[in-house]
Each structure stands twice: as C-alpha cells, then as structure tokens.
Structure 1
C-alpha cells in the first residue's frame, strides 16, 4: 500500500486517559505499542480540556462500602460489586503511581496530605503523554482510524486510517487492538467532545462485537447559552429563573434538570450561582478554573448576575453504554479486540446512571490498565503470526457503499439528520415510546441511505465514518431504549415511569443493517428493592 505501513504487538486507538493508560501498561508489559489518535494525544478529548474528579477511595472498609453503595439505587441496581471493588483498587493504585512515577502535583489539604480525588485535565494528560513516550510507545498524532482489519478467522489484526497532516493513508498490523475512542456526543458542541463521535463502537460492531447499556445515553449537561463548558457540579449552587425573572420552581442541577428541559422548549432559562458563600466561591475557582473563563471573558459575575443556560447532549460520553466487556481484561466477544474508557460500557461500576467525571475517570485508569495488559498478553500468544496474517477490511458504511456512491460531502446530510433525532430534548431526554419509535424509523432510513451511497476518500473518509458511527450509535440507543419498558437509572420513559422488578437485567444490542436487542441476566449485581416511580431526571 502507499503511505505508512507499520507492524506492532498492540495498537491503541484513541488519545484520552484510557488510551494513554492502555498504551503505557502494554508497553510496560513488554509489548511493542502504537497509539493512533484522531487529534494530538494529550490535548484532545473531554478530559484534556477540563478538570475532573476521580473515584479515589482509600482501602478502608467503611469508606469503600459507602462509595459502592452511593450510586447503586441511582443506577437501578445494575452495577456489579466485584467490578466496583476491582476499579476502586486499581484506581487507588493508579493515582498513587501517577503521584510517584508521574510526579503529578496534587494539592495538599490542611493536614499536609495530598488530595488525590481530582485531576486537572491539561496537566494530567501532558504527563500521561510523556509517560507513554518514555515507555517506548510510538504515537501517531492527527491519525484517525477509519476501520479495523481482521484475519480470515474474524480475529482483529490491525487497523487502517488517514494521517491528516501528511495527507496519506496508513495501516498498522497488530496482534491486538484496544479501542479507547470515547463515547458519542453527536457533535453537540460540548467541550472537548468534537472527537467523540462513536467511531470505536462502529468499528467494534463491524468486527462482530456487541454493545450493552445503550439505553443509558440521554445525558445532557448544563452550559451557559452559546458556550461549550458542561461542568455541571457547580450548578448545585444555582437558582434558576424564567424569562420574567420569577424562580423556575423545581429546576435544579440534580433532581430538576427535566424541568429545565421542558421550559427550554418554550422560553429561555436563566441562572445565578447565588447559593455559594465566599468560601465555596473561592474553592470553585481553584477546582475548575476553566469553568469561569467564559464568564470572565464576557464580563459576567455568575455569582451575582443572571445568565442564560442551555442543555447540551453528552450521549455516551457521560452516559454509561458502550462496547460490551466479556472478561476481566476488558476483552470483547471478538478475539484480539479490547475496549476501555468511555468506548466501553460502564454499567459494571455505574449501573444505569451516569458516573459523571469521577467514576468515568476511575474507569479510564482501570479499564485502560487491564485492556493494555490483556492486549499485550494476547499479542504474545500469537507469536510470529501477528505480523504475517492475511488482512480483511472490516469497514462498511462511508467506505464501501452497497449502491452508487454519492457526493463526497454527503456526510453533512447524515450528521444533520441524526442530530435532528438525538439532540432535541423532547425526543432524547424526555423519552416516550411513540417518539422513540418515530425517531428510530427516521434513523433506519438514514442508515439505509448511508449504507447505500455514503462514500468518501482521504480526509473526507474520516468525516464520512464519523457520520456513519453517529447514525449507528443513535439506532442502538433508541432500539435499547424501546426494549426497556420501564424507568431505571438514566433510561427514563414518560410512558413507563416506574421501575419494573421483572426488568432487572441488562440489554445487549448490536447489528448494523438490522439492529437487534436481547436481555442479559445479571450474575452478581445486588437485588433491587421494589422502587417507587422515578422522577424524570438525569444528573451528573
């Protein structure tokens, strides 16, 4: 082939924290590693652009018990205590390693001890990039993957992509592949999420992998109108107002975001962080300085002045659905394919409710570590065959249309059509079976047209594949949402507002031209008590 042609033991696709931990641990395990990022590893993605809490809990029985119990009910009792314990252990070890080997400058508390329950994204990812490079991994920046490669048996054997700056294709033969490409926010404009278009889920499904928890995908973050910063924790100090200046009763960051969504359908909603005292205001600026950049530039004091807010879709970035995990090493149903971070389901530790930043950050460290090591072991098991296998291209929609190819910019129409079904609050956030069914019919038609005619090459092929991934993601989301005829966790249904004890299971989905769903019984999740009707709310 023309362009760059590489052979490696482990290929990591992505450039956020999960990808960095996967590449680091695979390299430390003795594997030759290539990391391919859509952007510049260390600067692109949701974590690199912001700060985040971390689910870091010392190994004290009472503290660990409280940490695990805190979100079980919110998540509909779908989380798995064994996986929660594993993640707490691995995150504790990973954060301590970051302090020692990574020399991360954690702040200290009044007692002089470091506070390791939060990270500033830019500094964190800068140090992780350095660690990955020092471990010997090769980083391909601005090199989005466009499809996986398999061998004749169906095992994953590498990937193809496009190098943006070089303007050329590339191929990587690999013994194993880790998908750490993040979730899908549907190009909603949420900060750092323009690279999160669900590519990894599409790649995985084309290779035969399954997904789980895709109904838990209707996360919306609060942001000042016209901006992208969806750091919603601080809105717990807010009072929300109608256009006429009266208080919007029932509106809140937690327990009242659906009130905001309904009101935004007809009028603007305003906000003021007027419940924060002086100490809280100072602490907030230190914890999340980028939250205040927009306000400072606009000359707004968010503690004393009103500002308009909106809700931005964050899909499976802040939701919990993703590629189904089948082993402790974050393997999938496809040999040689591993998933980590937001590309993978987080039901195992969050159940059906968002983990927000802290749980997702812990999952990125833990799943990245396990996936990297698992991929290295798998690659070693192949021996010399890893670089000599015959390659089969797995990509479909956007690359190999089944009919006459359309125009090179056809991806724009696909994106517009998909966003029309997944961004509006009344369709995705305030879900109802009739609206879900109508949207899914539209999305099925979009997919059919995408599969038949969407085609592009070079840089435009990346955009075409992103559009196809968004269409596929939306269909898995709504098919799963229709299959859960109850309200559990984030999967709220206006037509089924109560939790149904008979649906205490996971929903697995997959397929491309024909999307399917099935239920999966739980093996070790706690038994859910009979729950009252849930309020229609999603919090971060």
Structure 2
C-alpha cells in the first residue's frame, strides 16, 4: 500500500468492476435513488472481455415456443444443472435491458432485410462506451484504475465498504458503503486471452474472506481456440473451420463446440492447423462485419483465414468462460453475507448454463440481468437502514519477500497445461493441488510486488485451489468437467457442488437438480 493519506469516500452502494455487470449494477442502483461509487481496476468502458470484442446476447422474443427452445437448447450440454426459473428471469430481464439500451442509450443495433433492428448482439467497444455514458449521467462517481484490494466489515460481519489503490495517483482509497456489489469478473489466470488481463479472481477471494462461498468451480476449465499468433478467442467462428495435422491430413473429431479435447491432445505432440473453409462469401462478409477485431491478427500477418492454413492454439479462459463463481443465495444476487452482492462473471452462472460454458451470449445476458438485480437489491439494502461502520479490513494476505510474479508463474504451471486442467485425471489433479497448497502457504506468509499485484497473485492461487478441489470431489464427467478416470455422468451427481475456505478448503453438495426430461 502507499504511504500517502488515503482517499476517504462515503456512499450508499459501492460497485467493484466496470464491465457490463458492474455498469448495469451501478445504473440500477442509481435509478433506485442510491448514491453510487464504481471502482474499476482498468478504465470503466474499455477494460474487460466485453469491451475488447463483439458478443452475442441471449435475446429471445417473448414467444413461449421460442423461449422453450432457447432454454432447452443447452441443458444437456450443461449436465442438467441449470434452473428454468433463473433462465426465465434472465430471458425477461435481458429482453427488457436490450430494448432499454436501444431507447435510453440509442445503441445502433443493425437492421435485417425488413428494416427491423436485430438485438441479438452488440459491439463491445460501442456497448461499453454507451454504458459508461449512462452511468455517468445517472450521477455515479467512477474511480478508474482503482482495483479493490479488500472488503471492509462492521463488528457484526456486515460488509461496510472496501479499500483499494488508485494506481495512477499512487494513493489508496477507502469507501464506506451501505452495500457492495462485486462485479470484478472471473479468473483467466493471466493466460493472455484478449480483454482478460483484469480477470484474476479478485472478487472471489474478497467474497470468501468475509464468509461467502462458491459454486460450480469444477466447471472452470474453459479453453478457447485462437490463432497461434493472436489472442482473440472468438471460438464460434471456428465452427466454419476444418482442422488439420501438421502433415496436412484432416484432424478427425476436432471442432469448436465439440472436439477441443482432440485439438488439445494433438497440440501436446504436434501443431494443429486450421482453415475457415466452410464459410461462403455471404458468411465471410457477415463475419468481418460482426467481429472485425477477429481478423486484425490475420490481416497484419498477411493471412487469409478463409483460404490459407494457419496454426491454432487453445487459450485458457478459466471462470471467464467457465460457469463457476460466487454462489448466490436468492434471485436478488445476495451472497449470504449481509451487504454483499455479486454479479456477472464473478458470480456462478450454473443457474442458467449448468456445467457448460454459455459462451458470449449467455454470459452477456447474465451480466446484464444479474447486474441489474444486484444493483437494485444493494440499493434497497443500503437505503433501508443506517450505513454500517467499518471496523476492520478482511484482507488475508500481507506483504513479504515472495515475489507476486513468481506466485503467478507457479499457479500457471498447474492450471494452463491441457493435460492437467482440460484432460483431467486424479493422478494429475492431486499432485497439482498439493503444489498449489504449497503456493498458498507462501502467499499467506506474505508477498512482495505492490498491493494490487499481490492481490492478483493471491486470488489466482485461491481460485486454482477451489477449482481443483471441486474437480477432485466431483467423481464423474459432466458438462465441461471431463475426468479420464471417471468417464460418464452419474445420476447421483446431478447436483451443484459448493466450495469455500481459505487455508482449509471444503466442499459440500447443494440441493439436487430435478431429473433430466
């Protein structure tokens, strides 16, 4: 921490995170009459996975048949762990929110041949630029480049604000608040995925430090296909691809939705090549309009991805594209800790995706919806009574001689390799978890490297331990969690798995989900 006098603020609602979930939370809280402060590790409107690219949105007209198809389409992929009640609420909130984005923010949705606006996707930079404008117009105070480093609690354990660092000013801050919304994103373990540099699991660590727990952490081994020379992880475009071995033969079984494990196994011993050769002229033009940044690395390298072969890789996206995160206690997105709410990728998305990634569209809908619910609920909580008085910070990591960058490298060595995280086996998971436990011990002894970098390293370590503990506890294969030593799904495991704890990590079974139709 810095040595200058900290910036001291008071507010009704503090929102941590400036992506879509944080922006919607701040907007809804302000609309409800609350005074709101938003802090972001980066620059609200430009940092995070959404701001870096375009994304689909799970936007479905309120037609019963269309809604039924939308909900049923991914239940099997998710291992039947999703909840129809949550799905219905997300579809309703997303439909209303996208329409509001068109009316209130004048978002320029494209039009179809009949002249009707198509609201099933957004261009991330424009979307987040307009969301920042809405948030500022609502009177929200934004602290950019101000990562949260710990939550503040009152004597009774109620969350009463947060502390952090203003990176560019070199000054710490303390915000006393009546409620806090964690919308800090997931954890991609600094893998290099585009826009995910701020996604290091900070919110999950802060939540567990005050008594919250997580759910779905075994479903956090998402890997996205990307060109080997780039960082853009828009895997949907690879549905138009054929994959090849280094000798030019077709790599059978490889694919974007199903078949990434085939690509991963092959990459362990040889390059995998690709060509988007199933996209015709119409699709090619639409793809360039829809995701122009997807093509920038190819254009700069002089590669035509529709005709030229190019090498691909798989980049870990962890809980950003996985479904694990902070468990929610009710539709209000409360965490079970008074005064603390969670939204977006910081929260579990099992409620609508089960155990398989929702990709961009479901995550975008979840960010809008959960952010809106959390913001409204946080405002109601904060305005209902006196603001709690902080008596202590909840941070559990001090400073010492262990370099934060060394901790990050040690964690990455356990969670990035395909044969440990994607192709799971107890014989590899247990030794990896043992090494991560040892890393956590060094974290607890103290880290060196600046307060917010320390928190990033500690959070990545904690998330990795929760992830592998849950992966070992779920002794079956379901959703994206594939155990080579436990192939096939077991009906006895059709329930969610909760995980928590810091020094002693624990797991427990949540209520069983209804039997598959």
> With structure 1 as the length reference, what TM-score do the two structures score?
0.94
- Partner in structure 2 of residue 415 of structure 1: 408
The whole-number CA distance in structure 2 between the counterparts of 1:390 and 1:116 is 43
Match of 2:476 among 476, 486, 494: 486
Check the 8 A contact 1:157/1:174 in 2, yes or no: yes
What SS does structure 1 have at the residue aligned with 2:385?
A: helix
Q: Structure 1, residues 112-166: CA drift from partner, whole Å, max 9, x if none? A: 1100000000000000000000000000000111111000111100011000111
Match of 2:272 among 262, 269, 272: 269
**Structure 2 residue 168 is the aligned partner of structure 1 residue 165:** yes
What SS does structure 2 have at the residue aligned with 1:63?
A: helix
The whole-number CA distance in structure 2 between the counterparts of 1:369 and 1:421 is 36
Q: CA deviation at 1:455?
A: 4.2
What SS does structure 2 have at the residue aligned with 1:85?
A: helix
The whole-number CA distance in structure 1 between the counterparts of 2:189 and 2:229 is 17
- Partner in structure 1 of residue 144 of structure 2: 141
- What is the correspondence of 1:232-311 to structure 2 with a 5 Å cutoff? 232-311=235-314
What SS does structure 2 have at the residue aligned with 1:313?
A: strand
Q: CA deviation at 1:244?
A: 1.2
Q: Structure 1, residues 458-493: CA drift from partner, whole Å, max 9, x if none? A: xx1110110000000000000001111001111111
The whole-number CA distance in structure 2 between the counterparts of 1:455 and 1:210 is 27
> With structure 2 as the length reference, what TM-score do the two structures score?
0.98
What SS does structure 1 have at the residue aligned with 2:174?
A: strand
Check the 8 A contact 1:415/1:467 in 2, yes or no: yes
Check the 8 A contact 1:504/1:528 in 2, yes or no: no
Q: Structure 1, residues 183-213: CA drift from partner, whole Å, max 9, x if none? A: 0000000000000000000000001101000
- Partner in structure 2 of residue 391 of structure 1: 391
The whole-number CA distance in structure 2 between the counterparts of 1:419 and 1:442 is 12
**Structure 2 residue 329 is the aligned partner of structure 1 residue 326:** yes
Check the 8 A contact 2:109/2:117 in 1, yes or no: yes
- Partner in structure 2 of residue 536 of structure 1: none
- Partner in structure 1 of residue 451 of structure 2: 461
Match of 2:206 among 180, 203, 217: 203
1:437–1:170 distance in 2 versus 1, CA, 3 Å: same
What SS does structure 1 have at the residue aligned with 2:55?
A: strand
- What is the correspondence of 1:184-203 to structure 2 with a 5 Å cutoff? 184-203=187-206
Runs of 4+ in 1 over 3 A off after TM superposition: none
Which sits farther off after the overlay, 57-66 or 237-246? 237-246
Q: CA deviation at 1:391?
A: 2.3
**Structure 2 residue 34 is the aligned partner of structure 1 residue 28:** no
Check the 8 A contact 1:75/1:352 in 2, yes or no: yes
- Partner in structure 2 of residue 18 of structure 1: 21
What is the RMSD computed on CA atoms of the aligned residues?
A: 1.0
Q: CA deviation at 1:390?
A: 3.6
- Partner in structure 2 of residue 376 of structure 1: 379
Check the 8 A contact 2:176/2:390 in 1, yes or no: no
- Partner in structure 1 of residue 352 of structure 2: 349
The whole-number CA distance in structure 1 between the counterparts of 2:257 and 2:40 is 34
Matched residue count: 514
What SS does structure 2 have at the residue aligned with 1:406?
A: strand
Consecutive unaligned residues of structure 1, counting only runs of 5 or more, are 530-540
- Partner in structure 1 of residue 134 of structure 2: 131
The whole-number CA distance in structure 1 between the counterparts of 2:484 and 2:509 is 21
